[in-house]
């Protein structure tokens, strides 16, 4: 038995995921947090912090252990040598890409967004008085990828000032290749478009032959990129509300921090300490989790593709499966799922109503129950 086979009961813990279907015989598999207990080094670090007993304001930029942990992690895991002063702490990637729009766009400007994408990202342009321009994701040779021709066409509009990329892609699970990242970089450089890259799932690569390429590591993007990362999805500490932006260019970094001032709170001490522990002592736990998630993914893909009316492409990364229900021939795919006793993320929230997203970051027993219900 794996450590990840034993998951705590969250049904009475005011969980966002579990409360949606409270009192109903519907298994929740929607929100992108896992069911796994946090890595022991993280729990030990948080226990030591609570034993200290003071939870006052903390200056994230001066929390050198956390900053040094990020520098080490990016160097060792992503071959990216950064300076610690490139790090800007935020209370989540959602506030961060909203800040990026405020920092680099004016009212009425256009923001390029790949679709499908997760709801807060889709909503961000309108919330900040800009126009969203959708760049579709297309299925090519059994793999989801960005429509680069559409991107080149739309980026040529001088009103396009910013692109928000999600890599690895949520919900489809693809990881951009070097060729694809280079193509995006060339388009952004040609048309003077800044790139805000949400890379929160970058440490959840399930295919061993796939490598994540941070946007800010690409030479052509260093002066125009904001790379968003966190320990939150990888180490299941999303509830601590802590992430960071890597902004190599000093001018972009200054505009970002100015746009955030007064409206975005500092990252909290618990999140800073969890990040430090994850990125200095979490390697072994993460390797075990990746192996477990890979097996979950493969099991899910096999089972889903055996169900009439459903199909799924195996994800390169994340713990999320983007399932095509167009073959079911039903008017409401989400309603069909819920009638089976499972609660996935509705595809309509991502801009694709014939799809749904299943979170397979759970025990094998829970995943089996989810798939058994779908198969009935």
Reported as a single tens digit per residue, the pLDDT across 120-173 is: 999 999 999 999 999 999 999 999 999 999 999 999 999 999 999 999 999 999
Which is nearest to 304 in space by CA: 204, 353, 373? 373
**Average model confidence (pLDDT) across the chain:** 97
pLDDT grade for 365, boundaries at 50, 70 and 90 = very high
Reported as a single tens digit per residue, the pLDDT across 67-90 is: 999 999 999 999 999 999 999 999
pLDDT grade for 270, boundaries at 50, 70 and 90 = very high
Q: What is the pLDDT of residue 373?
A: 98
Residue ranges of domains in the chain, CATH in brackets: 3-38+283-375 (3.90.1150.10), 46-281 (3.40.640.10)
pTM exceeding the 0.75 threshold for the entire prediction: yes
Q: What is the pLDDT of residue 1?
A: 80
Q: Are 77 and 287 in contact (CB under 8 A)?
A: no
**Range in 51-55, 168-172, 228-232 with the lowest mean pLDDT:** 51-55
Identify the burial level of 335 via C-beta atoms within 10 angstroms of its C-beta, where 0-12 means exposed, 13-18 middle and 19 or more buried. Answer: exposed
Identify the burial level of 216 via C-beta atoms within 10 angstroms of its C-beta, where 0-12 means exposed, 13-18 middle and 19 or more buried. Answer: buried
Q: Answer yes or no: is pLDDT of 117 > 90.
A: yes
Q: What angle do CA 92, 98, 100 make, to 5 degrees?
A: 100
pLDDT grade for 214, boundaries at 50, 70 and 90 = very high
Q: Per DSSP, what are the bridge partners of residue 357?
A: 322, 345
Can you tell me the distance from the alpha carbon of 194 to that of 281, in angstroms, rounded to the nearest whole number? Answer: 34
What is the distance of C-alpha 167 from the center of its chain? 8
């Amino acid at each position: 038995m794996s450590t990840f086979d034993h998951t705590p009961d969250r049904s009475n813990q005011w969980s966002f995921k579990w409360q949606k279907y409270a009192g109903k015989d519907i298994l929740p598999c929607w929100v992108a947090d896992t069911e796994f207990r946090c890595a022991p080094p993280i729990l030990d670090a948080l226990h030591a912090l609570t034993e200290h007993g003071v939870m006052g304001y903390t200056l994230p930029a001066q929390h050198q252990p956390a900053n040094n942990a990020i520098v080490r992690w990016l160097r060792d895991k992503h071959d990216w040598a950064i300076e610690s002063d490139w790090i800007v702490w935020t209370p989540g990637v959602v506030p961060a890409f909203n800040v990026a729009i405020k920092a680099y766009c004016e009212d009425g400007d256009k923001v390029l967004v790949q679709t499908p994408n997760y709801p807060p990202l889709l909503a961000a342009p309108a919330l900040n008085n800009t126009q969203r321009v959708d760049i579709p994701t297309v299925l090519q040779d059994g793999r989801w990828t960005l429509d680069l021709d559409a991107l080149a066409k739309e980026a040529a509009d001088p009103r396009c000032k910013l692109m928000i990329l999600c890599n690895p892609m949520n919900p489809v699970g693809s990881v951009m290749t070097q060729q694809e990242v280079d193509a995006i970089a060339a388009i952004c450089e040609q048309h003077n478009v800044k790139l805000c890259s949400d890379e929160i799932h970058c440490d959840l690569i399930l295919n061993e032959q796939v490598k994540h390429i941070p946007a800010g590591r690409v030479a052509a993007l260093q002066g125009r990129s904001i790379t968003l990362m966190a320990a939150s999805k990888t180490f299941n500490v999303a509830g601590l509300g802590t992430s960071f932006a890597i902004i190599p260019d000093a001018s972009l970094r200054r505009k970002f921090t100015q746009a955030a001032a007064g409206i975005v709170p500092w990252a909290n001490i618990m999140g800073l300490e969890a990040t430090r522990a994850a990125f200095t002592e979490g390697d072994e736990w993460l390797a075990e989790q990746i192996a477990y998630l890979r097996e979950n993914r493969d099991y899910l893909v096999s089972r889903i593709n055996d169900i009439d009316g459903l199909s799924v492409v195996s994800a390169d990364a994340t713990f999320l499966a983007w399932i095509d229900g167009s073959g079911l021939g039903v008017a409401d795919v989400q309603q069909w799922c819920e009638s089976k006793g499972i609660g996935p993320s509705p595809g309509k929230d991502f801009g694709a109503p014939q799809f749904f997203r299943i979170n397979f970051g759970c025990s094998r027993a829970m995943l089996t129950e989810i798939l058994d219900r779908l198969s009935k």
